[in-house]
C-alpha cells in the first residue's frame, strides 16, 4: 500500500479531462481554508496494475478540490499556495483518513491492495512528521507494509541530514518508500544510494517517448536493470496506449499506472469499480 503527497497530492496523470474545471482565477488562502472546513477536498485514487496479468496491485491517493463554484480542481490550482501557507499537513490528514478507511474496508473483504500517498519536502522538514504519521497509521488495523510514501524526486535537490533521518525513521515504522518521477531530477542515482527506497516510479516523460525514441527505450531498459540489482520494484507511469504497454512488457517492465487502465476516481467509487471492472487490455 502506498502513500504520497506533492504536486502529486497529485494530478496523477497530467492529461486533461473535460470534467476538470480550470480556474480562471487562482484561489486565495481564505478560499482554501474555507474549503478545508467544508470538506471540499477529496481523495481520488488511480490504480496500479500488473502489466502481464492486468490485476490491480494497489492505488495512488490523489487530491482533488470539489469547489462549490469552480467545480473539480486538480492540485495545480492549489498546492503551491497550500505549501506557502503551511496547509499541506491538514490536507494530508484528510487524504489519509479517507484513503485508509477505504483500504481497511477492502482488506476486510479480502482485497489486500496497497495504498500510496505523496509527501512533499516541506512536510519532511517537520520535526513532528514521523510521530504524526505513526499515530494515524497505527489507528487502523493494517500492515504498515501495505502503505507506501511516494517522495517526488525533484524535492531532493537539497535534502538535509535531518530529512534523511526522518525517511529512515519512516522506513523503520514499516512503511514502504518510493522515489516518484525517477529520472527527472538532478541527483537520482545518488539519492538511490543515499536513501532507503523500496520502489522507483519511472517518470511518464519516458513512457511518452517509447514509440519514437530508441534512447527512451534504452533508459527504461537500464532503469529496470538498476531496480532489479538494487532489489527495488519499478512502476512505469503514464501508460496511455496498448503500444506503450506492449513495448514495456518487451523491455521487462512488470507494473504500471496510467489512463490506459483507469483515470483517477473518487475513493468512494473504488470498491464498485473493482467489482465491475472488466480490464479489457
Q: Hey, which residues are catalytic here? A: 237
Give the C-alpha separation, 25 to 51, whole Å: 40
For residue 58, what are the β-bridge partners?
48, 114
Q: Which of 47, 128, 132 is CA-nearest to residue 92?
A: 132
Number of CB atoms found within 10 A of residue 157's CB? 11
Give the C-alpha separation, 268 to 6, whole Å: 22
> CA quadruple 53, 10, 217, 247: dihedral positive or negative?
positive
Give the C-alpha separation, 70 to 64, whole Å: 12
Cβ neighbours of residue 42 closer than 8 Å, sequence gap 6 or more: 63, 64, 65, 66, 98, 266, 267
For residue 200, what are the β-bridge partners?
179, 234
181: cell is 518521477
258: cell is 496510467
140: cell is 487502523
Q: H/E element holding 48? A: strand 41-50
Give the C-alpha separation, 5 to 43, whole Å: 11
Amino acid at each position: 500500500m502506498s502513500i504520497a503527497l506533492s504536486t502529486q497530492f497529485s494530478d496523477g496523470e497530467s492529461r486533461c479531462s473535460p470534467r476538470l474545471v480550470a480556474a480562471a482565477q487562482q484561489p486565495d488562502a481564505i478560499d482554501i481554508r474555507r474549503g478545508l472546513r467544508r470538506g471540499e477536498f477529496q481523495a481520488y485514487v488511480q490504480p496500479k496494475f500488473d502489466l502481464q496479468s492486468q490485476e490491480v496491485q494497489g492505488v495512488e491517493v490523489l487530491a482533488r478540490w470539489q469547489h462549490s463554484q469552480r467545480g473539480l480542481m486538480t492540485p495545480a490550482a492549489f498546492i503551491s499556495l497550500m505549501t506557502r501557507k503551511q496547509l499541506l499537513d491538514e490536507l494530508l490528514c484528510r487524504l489519509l483518513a479517507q484513503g485508509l478507511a477505504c483500504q481497511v474496508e477492502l482488506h476486510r473483504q479480502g482485497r489486500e491492495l496497497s495504498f500510496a500517498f505523496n509527501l512533499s519536502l516541506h512536510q519532511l522538514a517537520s520535526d513532528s512528521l514521523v510521530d504524526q504519521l505513526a499515530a494515524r497509521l497505527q489507528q487502523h488495523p493494517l500492515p504498515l507494509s501495505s502503505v507506501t510514501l511516494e517522495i517526488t524526486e525533484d524535492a531532493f535537490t537539497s535534502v538535509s541530514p535531518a530529512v534523511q533521518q526522518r525517511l529512515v525513521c519512516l522506513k523503520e515504522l514499516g512503511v514502504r518508500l518510493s522515489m516518484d518521477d525517477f529520472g527527472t531530477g538532478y541527483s537520482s542515482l545518488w539519492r538511490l544510494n543515499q536513501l532507503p527506497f523500496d520502489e522507483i516510479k519511472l517518470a511518464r516523460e519516458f513512457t511518452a517517448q517509447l514509440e519514437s525514441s530508441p534512447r527512451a527505450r534504452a533508459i527504461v531498459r537500464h532503469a529496470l536493470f538498476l531496480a532489479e540489482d538494487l532489489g527495488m520494484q519499478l512502476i512505469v507511469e503514464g501508460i496511455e496506449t496498448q503500444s506503450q504497454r506492449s513495448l514495456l512488457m518487451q523491455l521487462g517492465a512488470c507494473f504500471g499506472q496510467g489512463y490506459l487502465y483507469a483515470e483517477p476516481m473518487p475513493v468512494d467509487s473504488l470498491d464498485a469499480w473493482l467489482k465491475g471492472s472488466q480490464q479489457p487490455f
